Structure 1
Amino acid sequence: MTGAVATVVGSSDEATPAALARQALDLATVTPEPADALARRAERLANEAGDRAALSVSRRARGVAALQLRRLDLAVQQLRSAAQDGDSCGAAELAGAARMSLASALVLRGHTEDALQTIGRALEQTSGLDHARARTQRAAILQELGRLPAALDDLRIAIPALRRAGDPQWETRALSNRSLIFIARRQYAAARTDLARAQGLCTAHGLVLAGSYVEQNLGCLSAMCGDVPAALAHFDRAEAAYTELGAELGSLWLDRAKVLLGVRLIGEARAAVERAEAAFAEQGSAGELPETRLLLSTIALLDGDVAAAAAAGRRAIREFDDLGRTEWRTLAELAALQAQVVALVGPELSDLPADGTLVARLADRLRVVADDLERDGWSVPALEARVVAGRLATGLGDIPAARNDFRRTAAARRSGPAEARARAWLGEATLRESQGNTRGARSALRAGIRAVADYRRTLGATELRAHISVHRGSLARAGLRLALAAGCPRDVHWWSEIGRASADRPRPALPPRDAALARMLADLRALATELAEASAAQHVLQPLLAQQVEIEQAIRDHCREAGDGGRDAITPPTVAELTDVLADAVMVEFVELDGDVAAVTIVAGRARLHRLGPVASLVRRHLTHLPFALNRLARGTVRVGQRAAAEAVLERAALELDRALLMPLARRLGGRELVVVPNGWLHSVPWALLPSCRGRPVSVSPSAALWRSAATRQPRSSRVVAIAGPGLPGAAREARAVGELYPGSVVLAGARATAAGVSGAIGGAGLVHFATHATARRDNPLFSSLQLSDGPFTVYDLERIVDTPDHVVLAACGAAVSYVTAGEEILGLAATLLNQQTATLVAPVVVIPDAETQSVMLAYHRELGRGSPPSVALAAAQEAHRGADPATRACAASFVCLGAGSTGRIATRGSAVGSTR
């Protein structure tokens, strides 16, 4: 978020040193580069004329321009000289005005005490309008130091004075800064009012740079209200303006990184925070660098880059030391220690070396840091440190030390924030397992899962909290480890579903439609940020923690009262519940732990566990070959030798995958319809290529719970919509041909296929067919899109549709490609549709060049018209094209049926989704 900078408004057409200096100062906050050039000229003329007053103003103009461009060393130099020039010629007002700007530069350089003394001197030297400006500047410094009540008191006096004086630049800056205080206090309506007034002033008076600050702060407001698309749009507009002005503010990239981390876009968040770090380092912004490094440590660890996480944590420690911010230093030390632990024993804390000396030292250091964190008010991070220390002690066999660690976390199991309860229960489970009490360990893990369920809607709501959630999947993996050791298929299924639960309903990038819930979530996000940023003593934080518990409880109760208690609750279906829907089909649920793959099959009410062995690396290797081979075959222009090589690679990869995953299950599979629940890296398998699946109806779902929900969902409409996008040969022809198969259907092509037109047409439809280009964005899955006539139709657009279609066909390359985040969340077009109300989705799971899909798609729709359910229709269409040309074969093989394919609701209906009823 942006802070204030100083300026004085004034102008003159006279070409005197004083007039030129005043013009340069007027321009300094609007167009800093031209202002600097003009100020240099004024400075030269003032020196020649011996005009110390004009020299003070010109140097101040250069300092303010440098401040806007974050050239902090130059800014401090020029502004100190400006103040001294004012003092030397007895112009106290000029000296005080220069000290206003100097104070801002000093606080950005991390010299906070010097900044406060400087602004205090400025207040003594100024009166009238300049005094109001000085109050505004002191408020900005107090904001930087976290002293919000004092900052607000200054602004309450300054803003009316600035408004009466008709000073739009300073009023804009004051309003913009006050909006940040309102955001921190969760007074969002007041913040929006201030920003709207500031934006109007910028437009009316051509304040381009100040307008960029306002855009950035509007982005922060949108993010706190939970509207990620709006936040990113504001940030994009601010970035464009900064670029045009030659200014790059690290704060913009830092704000963007926090928002992206909040929706678990780890790669893009890391790129943003690294850009912020580089900008702050180049500008010499010592006050902002350590928190940026701390966030980088968080993101790098989530990204699996342990070395970078450790390095960023160590640098943050040194920089917090330099600034004397001891309470933040302990949090940075925990970050560095977490990275060391993961580097030494792995993210599961299970790969202990033979010599446990270093591990024991890390555990001891974690205990010391936990004490420091509790002293400084970081209660939840302190809990995390003790849990990790206890788990390390357990692994070393030091049960007395582990028991003491977990004794100190025991109170958190019953009270405090839900995440703290979950972490404490994990520690208790570890202790019970080490004592041979596996039943008690399972009970503790389930209690932890209940805490997660209470907290489910708020996971990821605050960015810095990710630091203490690096092992947030540990509960599920610990339970899965116990279940596999016991060889119990029903328990393996249950814990596998728990591990997939975060993928079932990822945190939305848009605020909820429930206004009351939206307000409570916004309050919780703001409160969590306040906790994360607080530097007060522990007794000050306790009321905030109590308030957090109250809000979490209110959210849970509200969701239950609203009839939405099960929407996000972690409630894996039992084997009996799945059997009722599966009928004669077989479900295969894959799990992987430490490189070993297992599968649970559910057939006719019986669950069995199959240990497939250490085949994870082999499967992953062949999954990298499949897209290459399909891509080459889909390009009809390749030479005969290249085509033959691609076919050989494809055949071998398909055979090896089949041998590893399905052939060991052959007796259980028989000739049954297949429902596959893959783990994260199996989502990209084109199952029709595997010998065991040829001609077999196959449905794929991210979880058994999501599949059962889709399979039992009642159809809502028989309306059919076919859409053709631009730039794809044959798309319009394909859409029209599909539409002709369904009397009364709607066909949108050409200028009619716009985002607004498509959104209006597909809401509540029974069947929607997209013949469009698709873009699968791994860097930002929420911007994966379908290309329409007026641009991309993104995941954000899909999320805004109140009633998504019942059955969707995406005849576009790679449209079903999903991105699995570091937290096992599944993102992308397919995931968004399945997580809303779409029961069935047919789309390609492998990115290949756009090929001729019409014959495959028409064959599929004809089978639907004959009464075949989707998975049966797709299998038939793929078999019919097995002898086609290589490009068409590759196209057909890349399609999968996601969600409910042919059991449950689809089977009982006995007709195609789009047919009349």
Structure 2
Amino acid sequence: MQVGTSTGGVAEGARADRAALVVDARALEAALDADAADLPARVADVVERARRADEPEALAWGLRAWAVLRRRDNDPAGAVRLLREARTVAQRDGRPVLEAWVLASRSVAELERGRTTRARADAEAALALAERAAPDDRDGARAVHARVQLQLAVMEHNAGRLVDAEARYRAFLREVPADSPDAVRGANNLAVLLVARADFDEALVWAERAVAAAAGLAPSLRSWPHLTRALVHVQAGRLAAGLRDLERAAAASEAAGQSSAEYYVEYADAMREMRLLPEAVAAGERALTELAAAGAGLVAVDAEISLAETLLMTGDAERAVLHAEGARARARAQRRPGTHDRAVVVAAEARLHTAAASVADLAAARRAARRLHASGDVAAAAGAALVSGRVAAALGLDRQAVAALRSAADLGRRGSLPVRIRARLAAALVARSAGADAAVLAECRAGLRDLARHRAALPTMELRALASGHGAELGELGLDVVVRQGSAARVLRWMEQTRAAALLARLPVDDLDPTPSPDRARPVTHAAGGPIPAGGPVPAGGPVARSVIVADEQGAAEARRSAWLREVGPAGPVAHRVPGIVDLRAALDGRVLVEYGRHEGRLVAVVVTARGARVVDVGPAEAEVAQQLRALVFALRRLVDPRGPAAAAAARTSADLRLAVLRRLLVEPLAVDPADELVVVPVGLLHGVPWSALHDGPVGLAPSATTWARSRARTADGSGGVVLVAGPGLHGAQEEVDVLRRLHPDALVLGAGESVADRVVRAVATADLAHLACHGSLRADNPMFSAVVLADGPVTVQELHRAGVAPRRLVLASCHSGADVAYAGDEVLGLVSAVLARGTAGVVASIAAVPDVEVVDLMRALHERLAVGETMARALHGARATVDRDTPAGFVNWCTFGAHGAA
């Protein structure tokens, strides 16, 4: 009796233990969504106990959870192996619903590996098992049925079949509780899809729902909706809101320990949308590297297409072709037609840029456009149609070109700003093919107005200048029309409407941070983006510190991030007033305006004199100008520090030759009087030309005629004095300031030890005349982070611009201080343009390195003339005449300093 009782007690205890084990195993499903910190240990414990107790149900659940963890550790192949065992266990135990859960998980892992056929087969098998579930297991069957429906929607989405994916997402969202983790995934993915369809309003509604539903859930689920809402905001032109959501996604991702790779794909797309191309390339390359290392074949293809699109915008068409072709082959192997078609289009466009596009490319791009349109991906279809039209035009197939361009114009009217601009471009190209000049101009104007509204909402001068690049082709198309029409007034007006628009806005002024920016950025990690897998996000093995701004050193990264997060209030009218020729002629007061433009591969100039205005065809000179400039810069660099008389003589001969060629190419076609005082408005690489050395009379420079006229209106009001600043570590700077002090006895002087940033900025900001003798640091890749070096470190152009520094006149006796950088869309950024934008009326600066000691004589002669009321251009012209050009240093100073503005 006692033995029997004891045996029964042991059996009951064993049954209770097994039941508890099954409860623990089933609870792992909820724990996977909760980001439980002890989850790996719990999973290992369940699997070990299940094997020891020979409990198949618990073992299958445990193996499934273990597989999910392996997948999150970027090991989808390892996850598949575990799930294969889990399925065998569930089958042998006769548990179809559990087997369906295992197959659903294996479908996710196979999809991540790019095995789409296997993924779909597993999903469909899981659906069949759920539908055959016993009556007592209906709740579990309904749950797995909903999860698989989400997985099938994700497959359609990744394949580019957006119409089918949208229907599945909407059906799924009707089936699941609105506050469930799966509802968050479904709402998020539907929002992503609606962005591709250019339905930003509804996309924002679903993204907001996902954010709200995820608020009480685990960090890994919170990161995705913020990332998607960021995508919606950026596509709709709301940069600050988008970047805030990116940072919220990053914070949630850090808490969840997620991989950063897929985040960088989305981040690269956002940066490309803003034409922040160095950041986009760096983010795209990082994403691709991490995804390739993790074996994430599905997302790696998307990352490669994204990187190819960015490289194409940077002008690197050869690398773009390589990446696009690689992505095309892998997408084909993954049976993802939509992704394959996107890669085909990028490859065709890249070959078009290298003059290698063929009839085969045209046929492939046309097929891609049709399929993308049928799938519901409107933005991609519009881009494909535009590429088809341009390839057809390049091949001389005019009828096919017009048909494709019309399709692009119709499809792209509702997309993001770049999509809308390309639609206007397509329509303008159609009108040009028909010889309808008025229609060309109408489309160009409409697109540029749209761009102006977008630009006005951006928070920094840098972002506004970059945004102008979206309209570069529209500007050139319109210029081509007005040049052919022959009216100098209309040509000048068109140039001015598209010239240096970013400099004309009055942005808010901030105090300069009294502490130098640290060389570090706030470390964050990032969340994954795109459609969320039905099985949830993919954490990696713990947080990894990363800078949000990936293309700059860390201190600059934090400064840019801070600037981008600023909100801009209502812009009011976005069109700036362009002065007419009559008003300009009055402001010029005897000077001659020369404004250059570029169209159809040729340079053109409008010349405005006291007697009239004319258009001059300068010719296809840009390539030769670029070659001569490179050689001239090299010669000037050698003359700053010659290695001996023979080297100096050779460099001087080369420099004289280059200047003579540049004068022949750029000035002689204008037929201006050598003694005329010129106001030159360059375009593109012409901003790097030493204009004072090409013309015998005085020369003033300006980013646009409008900017020059505005600077002409600022006159001395007696409220500001003279400020003289010597920077640290610059041989001759203190001597220079001491010499100038004798000419300006009442000046405020800040010597090398006193020239800390805060004091200099406060003193210079409202001075009538400021002189900075200090080291300059050029950042040609990012001119807003070029800097002048003061006693407590470098102060960047961005910091000076944000602080509103705008003396009436400014002399920059520092290296490369006048080397502003031209951007697409006829914009220019740098120290000179930054202070002109804030209201400075006259600047003298050098486009190259400055011989430190020898520049003192030039500066003294300049200030002697400024002190008697001469303008910057006339004072510099007179000062240059006193320079001994027979010495290497004297020649460099004579050649490289230029005057900007009218004061």
**TM-score range with shorter-chain normalisation?**
0.5 to 0.7
Instruction: Decide whether aligned partners of structure 1 residues 35 and 421 sit closer, same or farther in structure 2, where only a CA change above 3 A counts.
Output: closer
Instruction: Decide whether aligned partners of structure 1 residues 225 and 423 sit closer, same or farther in structure 2, where only a CA change above 3 A counts.
Output: closer
Measure, in 1, the Cα distance between the counterparts of 2:320 and 2:506.
26
Measure, in 1, the Cα distance between the counterparts of 2:776 and 2:531.
41
Which residue matches 1:13? none
Instruction: Decide whether aligned partners of structure 1 residues 715 and 487 sit closer, same or farther in structure 2, where only a CA change above 3 A counts.
Output: same
Which residue matches 1:251? 262
Which residue matches 1:647? 652
SS in 2 for 1:564: coil
Which residue matches 2:425? 423
Deviation at 1:683, TM superposition (A): 1.1
TM score, norm. by length of structure 2: 0.68
Deviation at 1:671, TM superposition (A): 0.9
Measure, in 1, the Cα distance between the counterparts of 2:731 and 2:232.
43
Measure, in 2, the Cα distance between the counterparts of 1:226 and 1:746.
45
Which of 557, 560, 564 is equivalent to 2:573?
Answer: 564
Output aligned runs, 1:590-739, within 5 Å. Answer: 590-593=596-599, 596-635=602-641, 638-665=643-670, 667-688=671-692, 690=693, 692-693=695-696, 696-713=697-714, 718=720, 728=730
Which of 438, 444, 462 is equivalent to 1:443?
Answer: 438
Does 1:871 find its partner at 2:902? no
**Range 762-771 or range 401-410, more displaced:** 401-410
Instruction: Decide whether aligned partners of structure 1 residues 325 and 645 sit closer, same or farther in structure 2, where only a CA change above 3 A counts.
Output: same
Which residue matches 1:579? 585
SS in 2 for 1:588: strand
Please tell me whether the aligned partners of residues 881 and 892 of structure 1 are also in contact (alpha carbons under 8 angstroms): yes
SS in 2 for 1:302: helix
Instruction: Decide whether aligned partners of structure 1 residues 562 and 65 sit closer, same or farther in structure 2, where only a CA change above 3 A counts.
Output: closer
Please tell me whether the aligned partners of residues 390 and 427 of structure 1 are also in contact (alpha carbons under 8 angstroms): no
Please tell me whether the aligned partners of residues 721 and 762 of structure 1 are also in contact (alpha carbons under 8 angstroms): yes
Amino acid at match of 1:870: M
Which residue matches 1:73? 77
Which of 884, 889, 892 is equivalent to 1:890?
Answer: 892
What stretches of structure 1 of length at least 5 have no aligned partner?
1-17, 163-169, 203-208, 347-357, 434-440, 463-467, 514-531, 535-558, 907-917
Please tell me whether the aligned partners of residues 152 and 178 of structure 1 are also in contact (alpha carbons under 8 angstroms): no
Deviation at 1:77, TM superposition (A): 3.4
Amino acid at match of 1:681: L
Which residue matches 1:477? 476
SS in 2 for 1:566: coil
Does 1:282 find its partner at 2:293? yes
Measure, in 2, the Cα distance between the counterparts of 1:861 and 1:195.
67
Measure, in 2, the Cα distance between the counterparts of 1:84 and 1:834.
74
Instruction: Decide whether aligned partners of structure 1 residues 752 and 489 sit closer, same or farther in structure 2, where only a CA change above 3 A counts.
Output: closer
Please tell me whether the aligned partners of residues 136 and 154 of structure 1 are also in contact (alpha carbons under 8 angstroms): no
Deviation at 1:443, TM superposition (A): 1.4
Measure, in 1, the Cα distance between the counterparts of 2:375 and 2:265.
25
Instruction: Decide whether aligned partners of structure 1 residues 327 and 875 sit closer, same or farther in structure 2, where only a CA change above 3 A counts.
Output: same
Amino acid at match of 2:710: S
Deviation at 1:730, TM superposition (A): 5.8
Deviation at 1:230, TM superposition (A): 10
Measure, in 2, the Cα distance between the counterparts of 1:702 and 1:825.
8
Measure, in 2, the Cα distance between the counterparts of 1:488 and 1:583.
22
Instruction: Decide whether aligned partners of structure 1 residues 371 and 221 sit closer, same or farther in structure 2, where only a CA change above 3 A counts.
Output: closer
Deviation at 1:579, TM superposition (A): 1.5
Amino acid at match of 1:504: A
Measure, in 2, the Cα distance between the counterparts of 1:367 and 1:749.
65
Output aligned runs, 1:203-282, within 5 Å. Answer: 249-282=260-293
CA-based RMSD: 6.1
Instruction: Decide whether aligned partners of structure 1 residues 362 and 745 sit closer, same or farther in structure 2, where only a CA change above 3 A counts.
Output: same
Instruction: Decide whether aligned partners of structure 1 residues 75 and 442 sit closer, same or farther in structure 2, where only a CA change above 3 A counts.
Output: same
**Range 367-376 or range 215-224, more displaced:** 215-224
Output aligned runs, 1:897-916, within 5 Å. Answer: 897-898=899-900, 900=901, 902=902, 906=903
Please tell me whether the aligned partners of residues 586 and 601 of structure 1 are also in contact (alpha carbons under 8 angstroms): yes
Amino acid at match of 1:672: D
Please tell me whether the aligned partners of residues 112 and 298 of structure 2 are also in contact (alpha carbons under 8 angstroms): yes
Which residue matches 1:538? none
**CA shift digits 1:178-205 (9 cap, x unpaired):** 9999999447997999799799x98xxx
Which of 778, 781, 797 is equivalent to 1:779?
Answer: 781
Instruction: Decide whether aligned partners of structure 1 residues 589 and 277 sit closer, same or farther in structure 2, where only a CA change above 3 A counts.
Output: same
Between Structure 1 and Structure 2, how many residues are aligned? 788
Please tell me whether the aligned partners of residues 69 and 246 of structure 1 are also in contact (alpha carbons under 8 angstroms): no
Instruction: Decide whether aligned partners of structure 1 residues 383 and 158 sit closer, same or farther in structure 2, where only a CA change above 3 A counts.
Output: closer
SS in 2 for 1:344: coil
Instruction: Decide whether aligned partners of structure 1 residues 723 and 389 sit closer, same or farther in structure 2, where only a CA change above 3 A counts.
Output: same
SS in 2 for 1:505: helix
Measure, in 2, the Cα distance between the counterparts of 1:854 and 1:188.
65
Please tell me whether the aligned partners of residues 175 and 195 of structure 1 are also in contact (alpha carbons under 8 angstroms): no
Measure, in 2, the Cα distance between the counterparts of 1:742 and 1:136.
81
Please tell me whether the aligned partners of residues 176 and 195 of structure 1 are also in contact (alpha carbons under 8 angstroms): no
Amino acid at match of 1:679: V
SS in 2 for 1:683: helix
**CA shift digits 1:561-616 (9 cap, x unpaired):** 9643323xxx6544333212212111223345565544332211422344444443
**CA shift digits 1:8-50 (9 cap, x unpaired):** xxxxxxxxxx99xx99x99999999x99999999999998998
SS in 2 for 1:814: coil
Amino acid at match of 2:685: W
**CA shift digits 1:74-127 (9 cap, x unpaired):** 344346556767888999999999889766645533556478679989999999
Deviation at 1:684, TM superposition (A): 0.9
Which residue matches 1:334? 345
Instruction: Decide whether aligned partners of structure 1 residues 487 and 263 sit closer, same or farther in structure 2, where only a CA change above 3 A counts.
Output: same
TM score, norm. by length of structure 1: 0.67
**CA shift digits 1:244-286 (9 cap, x unpaired):** 9998632233233223323324344334323323333332323
**Range 764-773 or range 278-287, more displaced:** 764-773
SS in 2 for 1:779: coil
Amino acid at match of 1:680: G
Output aligned runs, 1:6-405, within 5 Å. Answer: 63=67, 66-78=70-82, 81=85, 105-110=109-114, 111=116, 113=120, 145=157, 185-186=203-204, 249-322=260-333, 325-327=336-338, 329-344=340-355, 369-379=368-378
**CA shift digits 1:136-189 (9 cap, x unpaired):** 999899789576778988997657xx9xxxxxxx99999999999999944799
Deviation at 1:779, TM superposition (A): 3.3
Instruction: Decide whether aligned partners of structure 1 residues 385 and 870 sit closer, same or farther in structure 2, where only a CA change above 3 A counts.
Output: same
**CA shift digits 1:285-338 (9 cap, x unpaired):** 233234333323322332333343344444444455555554555444433333
Which structure exhibits the higher relative contact order, with contacts defined as CA atoms closer than 8 Å and separated by 6 or more residues?
Answer: 2
Instruction: Decide whether aligned partners of structure 1 residues 255 and 582 sit closer, same or farther in structure 2, where only a CA change above 3 A counts.
Output: same
Amino acid at match of 1:800: R
Instruction: Decide whether aligned partners of structure 1 residues 563 and 391 sit closer, same or farther in structure 2, where only a CA change above 3 A counts.
Output: same
Instruction: Decide whether aligned partners of structure 1 residues 28 and 425 sit closer, same or farther in structure 2, where only a CA change above 3 A counts.
Output: closer
**Range 319-328 or range 223-232, more displaced:** 223-232
Please tell me whether the aligned partners of residues 28 and 62 of structure 1 are also in contact (alpha carbons under 8 angstroms): no
Amino acid at match of 1:700: L
Deviation at 1:623, TM superposition (A): 0.3
Instruction: Decide whether aligned partners of structure 1 residues 188 and 45 sit closer, same or farther in structure 2, where only a CA change above 3 A counts.
Output: closer
Deviation at 1:404, TM superposition (A): 5.9
SS in 2 for 1:813: coil
SS in 2 for 1:287: helix
SS in 1 for 2:844: strand
Measure, in 2, the Cα distance between the counterparts of 1:889 and 1:767.
26
Amino acid at match of 2:698: P
Instruction: Decide whether aligned partners of structure 1 residues 126 and 282 sit closer, same or farther in structure 2, where only a CA change above 3 A counts.
Output: farther
Measure, in 1, the Cα distance between the counterparts of 2:885 and 2:299.
63
Which residue matches 1:521? none
Greater Rg by CA: 2
